[in-house]
Chain A
Amino acid sequence: MTESDLRTDAVEIHEQFSDQLDIEVEDVVSRLETLVDDYQVPLTEARRSVVNTYLDEAGMDREQLGGGGGGNDQVQVSDVDAPEEWVDMRVTVVELWEPRADAVAQVGLLGDETGTIKFTKWSKSDLPELEEGTSYALRNVVTDEYQGQFSVKLNRTTVIEELDEEIEVGDDSVEVEGALVDIQSGSGLIKRCPEEDCTRVLQNGRCSEHGEVEGEFDLRIKGVLDDGEEVSEVIFDEDATTELTGITLEEGKEMAMDALDTTVVADEMRQKILGRYYRVTGPTFRRYVLADDQERLTGPVDAERALIKARSI
């Protein structure tokens, strides 16, 4: 697997320099191999190092480096997951911020259906002004990463073309799946503070801000999805909870009334959903995913793929 990744990288690097340098793909492969195999350097770092070497040899700036002969991949914002990649995007300028340094001409947020990403445009690149709210096709931008956050840089080779159509900007929604392994306290039939703009969940009839109040009933589930590698905490609001459990707010209130106890609602919900597999999509808030859309995973499973792997080890 690593072997072919390395070769793919080598072919890409070779393409980037094929006009300037007389090198073979094998030369690039062997340079990468030395770094990866002999020096245990990660492939991304090896690639960066080899590209730098060739830039020096060719007397080129990194900015002059195109994405090779065949053009770049057209990517969406959420596809950006590695630094130092040359890509093309179709985006809307969501926000422009005040540049903090003279070297920066413009800085702000770009967005498409899949989310938003920071961009920087250098002063020395001498590019036309981007306008807030306008959609553009951007060719030849470079991805970057700082502390796990990705961004794109516009450079002097970037081609900016204004679009007639409007690229819609989506929120940064994530998709998580796994078994529902826990329903946390504060789930089921809850009461919220009725004060204006306060929706705090009451503890024993008290709001932490407004004290003892006559609460308003609501349904909610704070659940944990676990795929065996990672856990995700998910909050289901009233609609999502009803869709998930088949229990409406009215039914929940009746159940609690009959039992003279609100906890029966969460208990009933546990029996209906705990231990099942779900896929949930929605925006994140602090450490929670707020469920916009959820689906129980019941479809047939593919044992064959895992078997082939098992037999190959």
Chain B
Amino acid sequence: MSSTPTREVARRVFAREFNDASYTFKESDDDRAPVYVLLPTGQRANRVFVVGTLTETEDVGEDSEYWQGRVVDPNGDTFFMYAGQYQPDAASMLRDLEPPAYVAVVGKPRTYETDEGDVNVSVRPESISQVDEATRDRWVVETAERTLERVQRFTEAEEATADEYVSMAREEYGDDVDAYRRAAVGALESLQDEQAEASAD
């Protein structure tokens, strides 16, 4: 199935940044070329890996089952995921899981434009599995580290020598990425608070 050596990396991103990643593009004209969303910190993403709290599941389908899942990160920001008949494993996980639960989700970023002209970003899950808190905590720190690396690369890059995706992100979203640095700080602080509470118990 996905056993090609060019398998796309699953990017680590908090919901605040992911939901802002409304710009999509392809690297070639081929119909089957992968679609990327452009993260505002200047990296392309064709796949993401998210671990968070599943807070709600709902069948929003009209004719056939179409499951929506809300997965919340430590900042309280929400990843939206949608799974229907073409994602049977993920759909049945959303049908069966009882929120709240920690879940790990591997999936593809998808965007759609609303009637009002806003672009919504969501995840089309390839797999969903229930995990423990240790896995969630590791994801939070890892995602903060990856985000900070991107923010640093973005802010330090000179105009002329900037990475092509950093330049593209500046063009599409502007120069201010501090909100994403703050999202990383916020997530880490809330993790520390949890750890402090746990050790006080």
- A: which residues have CB within 8 A of B? 40, 179, 181-182, 184-185, 222, 224, 226-231, 233, 270-271, 274-277, 287, 297-304, 306-307, 309-311, 313
Contact = CB atoms under 8 A, between A and B. Distances in A.
A231 B9 contact: yes
Contacts of A222: 3
Nearest to A222: B3
Given A233-B3, A311-B185, A275 B129 contact: yes
A302 B106 contact: no
B119 interface: no
B131 A310 contact: no
Interface residues of B, number: 48
Nearest to B130: A271
Contacts of B157: none
A40 B5 CA distance: 33
Given A271-B129, A276-B135, A182 B2 contact: yes
Contact of B2 (A184, A229, A274, A277): A184
B54 interface: no
B7 A231 contact: yes
Interface of B: 1-3, 5, 7-12, 47, 49, 51, 103-106, 126-127, 129-132, 134-135, 137-146, 148, 151-152, 155, 161, 181, 184-185, 188-189, 191-192, 195
Given A179-B104, A184-B1, A184-B2, A307 B192 contact: yes
A177 to B, nearest CB: 10
Contacts of B146: 228-229
Contact of B145 (A270, A275, A306): A306
B141 A301 contact: yes
Given A179-B49, A228-B142, A310 B127 contact: no
Contacts of A309: 145, 148
A181 B148 contact: no
Contact of B141 (A271, A302, A313): A302
Contacts, number: 114
A275 B11 contact: no
Given A228-B9, A297-B138, 12 more contacts: A182-B7, A226-B10, A228-B142, A228-B146, A231-B7, A270-B127, A275-B103, A276-B135, A277-B138, A302-B141, A306-B145, A313-B181
Given A184-B1, A228-B10, A275-B129, A310 B188 contact: yes
Contacts of A233: 3, 7
Contacts of A179: 10, 49, 104, 139
B185 to A, nearest CB: 5
A296 to B, nearest CB: 9
Nearest to A297: B138
Contacts of A231: 7-10
A271 B195 CA distance: 27
A43 to B, nearest CB: 15
B79 to A, nearest CB: 14
A130 to B, nearest CB: 38
B30 to A, nearest CB: 22
Contacts of A185: 1, 3
Given A275-B51, A310-B144, A304 B192 contact: yes
Nearest to B143: A228
Given A228-B11, A270-B129, A277-B135, A303 B104 contact: no
Contacts of B126: 182
Contact of A306 (B132, B135, B144): B144
A181 B106 contact: yes
